[in-house]
Amino acid sequence: MIESPSRDYCAILLCAGVGSRLKPLTDDRPKCLVPIGDTTMLALSLAALEASGVVGRVVIVTGYRAEMVRDAAKSARMPVTFAHADRYESTQNVVSLATGLRERRPREPWMKLDGDLIVDPAIIAALAGPGARVAVDTSVRVGAEEMKVLVDRGRITCFGKGLAPKRCAGESIGVEAFAGMAADRVAAAIHSAVERGRCDVYYEDVYNDVLSDVAFAPLAVDSTSWIEVDDHDDLARAAALIANDPRFGGGRR
């Protein structure tokens, strides 16, 4: 267990998507429950959140095959609640995040994790702290597909897939933490965007809207400490990672 002063954070885990690039494995199950060796992304995510020492409860946002996610999460070691994104097939991930944030308590610090990530619990622990913090992989050469960030004097100045790769500090991996005023301000912006019909954008597009009054600090990580599972090649790499690296064995206990 990673040492931490308290388990204050609510973690919002986005597991609504279909995972079409992993078909036919996702024909009968959600992406987060595709087998990786003898475990799943959901089991690994819950284990990492528990091992981080900073998360007290989890909100899982469901969509595709929601009942299977609910059933699989029964073995979680910390309190889990669910929020269902019923428009998961026709909206972007900003709607999933807004759905999860409806379960957030007043002034509660929160984290957001994409449900298709396998991540070192130490990253989650390191993100805990004041303000807004974002895990950014600075070790990779980013291209057109990655969600990139611009950084100036220790502060993120822009998120975007369309940013010029050579100007970018790295890739935002899909794990962020918010506390204090930043937690309230970012949550309010996400809710406002969805209420105004901006349902076809990424949550990072909404983060851009508040960069002038919320300082987003990048936490540099490297590509050995996480992996996003989008397709079958990623799945094979993930299987090798959890088989050989003890940091990712928590989901198999």
Question: So what's the pLDDT on residue 4?
Answer: 45
Residue 4 lies inside a defined structural domain of this protein: no
Average pLDDT, rounded, for the chain: 94
Res. 164 pLDDT band, cuts 50 70 90: very high
Q: Do residues 65 and 22 lie in contact, with contact meaning Cβ atoms separated by under 8 Å? A: no
Residue 3 lies inside a defined structural domain of this protein: no
Residue 14 lies inside a defined structural domain of this protein: yes
Please say if the pLDDT value at position 251 is more than 70: no
Q: Strands of 153-249 (E only): list them.
A: 155-160, 170-178, 216-221, 226-228
Residues of the domain holding 15: 9-252
pLDDT digits (tens, 9 = 90+) for 192-207: 999 999 999 999 999 9
- DSSP letters, 51-113, are HHS-EEEEEEEE-TTHHHHHHHGGG-SS-EEEEE-TTTTTS-HHHHHHHHHTTPPTT--EEEE
Task: Give the residue-averaged pLDDT of 155-164.
Answer: 97
CA dihedral 66→71→74→78, nearest 10 degrees, is -10
Please say if the pLDDT value at position 160 is more than 70: yes
Task: Round to whole Å and give the CA distance between 163 and 28.
Answer: 36
- The CATH code of the domain that includes 46 is 3.90.550.10
In the chain, the percentage of residues whose pLDDT exceeds 70 is: 96
Work out the number of other CB atoms within 10 angstroms of the CB of residue 203: 24
Q: Which amino acid is at 203?
A: Y
pTM, whole model, 2 decimals? 0.94
Residue 1 lies inside a defined structural domain of this protein: no
| Domains identified in the chain, total number | 1
Residue 137 lies inside a defined structural domain of this protein: yes
Question: So what's the pLDDT on residue 248?
Answer: 81
Question: So what's the pLDDT on residue 253?
Answer: 40
